[in-house]
Amino acid sequence: MTLLTQAQNGLFDLDPWAGQRESTFNFELINGVSGLVIAELHPSRDNPPTLSHDTTRTIKRTLGPLVLDETDTALVDSVNNRVRVSMIIGEHTYPLGRYVFMDHTRIRTTRGHASTSVLGDEMFIVDQKIERGFSCRTQDIAGVVVSGEVVESAITRLVFELPVVFTAEPTAFGSIGSWPQGTNRGRILDDLALDGDYFSPWFGNDYEMHVIRSFDPADRVPAFDWDANDVVMRDTITETSDLIDAANRIVVVSNTPSAIGTSTLPVVGVYNIPSSAPHSLLNRGFVITDVRELQLTHQSQAIAIAANIGQRGTVFERTELSTALDPRHDSYDIIRWQGENWLELAWSLVLREGSDMRHVIRKAYR
């Protein structure tokens, strides 16, 4: 049996003896400042909203269209309010995040105003323009910058005053980046995440922002085993590939002097795509290079960032498929399927029982 980080659950992993199940979704309207529940919303059953999560976006999650009748629309203050979503199945409630109104259209009827809305996760709060320039703190010895501010500390300073909860895994890497006023905070956060060898930050099911270190999917314990009970729907599998012109070598270059003494040697990190990948140097026979220029001071940091770009890049063999609805999925989950590890890049689900959950995954290579 495959070792997993998520406990097996017959309702989601589709045990062979489980012929059917019942679930419902709960939508709570809450005060965005106090967090108090205002009311329970009842979106249209004929046009239920879709919740989508995409790791390539700054605001990873969107919810919509949220179609409300005249009674529920009268309760909504789209500026102040948030919507908290959860799935209830059996005796358990699974949170699915908290959302901010990004678009709210009121439709005049003879009974009042109905509405349709699009919401995003609370990265919308983070991804606003900064009022003052933001710079990482640096150390200087004899006129030479030898190290930058630890990225974990810089991220904390960047978002500390915002009304969000966040956790960041430790990193030894620093950044000497600087951004002018008017820059979107989400862009700064993504830049810092790359410097610190993090995956792109996201808001999860638990309403918190997560900043985790990058990892090689091939070496991780999976969260889900789709081979155990054949949960993948056979007729929904599609495969896409951008491998024809995909880079098989990532080179990260910095013109910042090395942190070793006063050496002016360039800092360079190189990552070669694993040889088992179909677009690797071994399989292709020649090199296609993706070169990135960043402000770095340590060789180890450049090497780690090159590997990070290679592991989180969007140019891969991707498979899109469907399973039953499963609210346990979050971000960068590892899935065991067809005897191999896959990294989940995106998923979406229509918030109505009986609908499919659509996943985009990419294979991990050694």
Domain presence at residue 15:
no
Question: Looking at the structure, do residues 247 and 199 belong to the same domain, yes or no?
Answer: no
Given 263, 283, 312, the domain boundary residue is: 312
> 29 near 76, Cβ under 8 Å?
yes
Structure tokens given for 121: 């996760």
pLDDT the model gives residue 19: 66
CA-CA distance, 150 to 192, in Å (whole number)? 10
Question: β-pairing, 166-168 with 209-211?
Answer: parallel
DSSP 8-state symbol, 129: B
Residues 313, 58, 106, 37, CA torsion sign: positive
Let me know if residue 354 belongs to a domain: no
Domain ends where: 192, 211, 230? 211
| CATH classification at residue 170 | 3.55.50.10
Q: Indicate if 263 and 207 belong to the same structural domain.
A: no
Structural domain total, the chain = 2
Q: Which domain holds residue 139?
A: 134-211
DSSP state at residue 185: H
Contact of 64 with 118, CB cutoff 8 Å:
yes
Q: Are residues 300 and 250 in the same domain?
A: yes
- Rounded to whole angstroms, what are the CA distances from 81 to 35, 73, 248? 9, 12, 46
Q: What is the per-residue pLDDT for 225?
A: 93
Same domain membership, residue 262 and residue 202: no
Note whether 203 and 248 are same-domain residues. no
**Cα–Cα nearest to 122, from 38, 183, 210, 56:** 210
Tell me: do 255 and 305 sit in the same domain: yes
Within a domain: residue 259?
yes
Q: What contacts 271, CB < 8 A, 6 or more positions away?
A: 249, 250, 303, 306, 307, 309, 310
Closest by Cα among 242, 209, 218, 236 to 335:
218
The DSSP bridge partners found for residue 271 are 250
Identify whether residues 205 and 253 lie together within a single domain: no
Residue 340, class by beta-carbon neighbours within 10 Å (0-12 exposed, 13-18 middle, 19+ buried)?
middle
In a domain? residue 152 = yes
Tell me, yes or no, whether 193 lies in a domain: yes
Say how far residue 357 (Cα) sits from the centre of its chain.
17
Classify residue 106: in a domain, yes or no. no
> Residue written as tokens 């959950």?
357
Pair 275, 281: CB distance under 8 Å: yes
What 3-state class would DSSP assign to 350?
A: strand
Please give the chain's pLDDT, 366 residues, in tens: 578 888 888 888 877 776 678 899 999 999 999 999 999 999 999 999 999 999 999 999 999 999 999 999 999 999 999 999 999 998 899 999 999 999 999 999 888 899 999 999 999 999 999 999 999 987 654 454 446 789 999 999 999 999 999 999 999 888 888 999 999 999 999 999 999 999 999 999 999 999 999 998 888 999 999 998 888 887 778 988 777 888 889 999 986 655 444 455 678 889 998 888 888 888 998 999 999 888 787 788 888 888 888 876 655 678 999 998 999 999 999 999 999 999 999 999 999 988 999 999 988 877
Q: With respect to residue 113, please indicate whether it lies within any of the assigned structural domains.
A: no
In a domain, 188, yes or no: yes
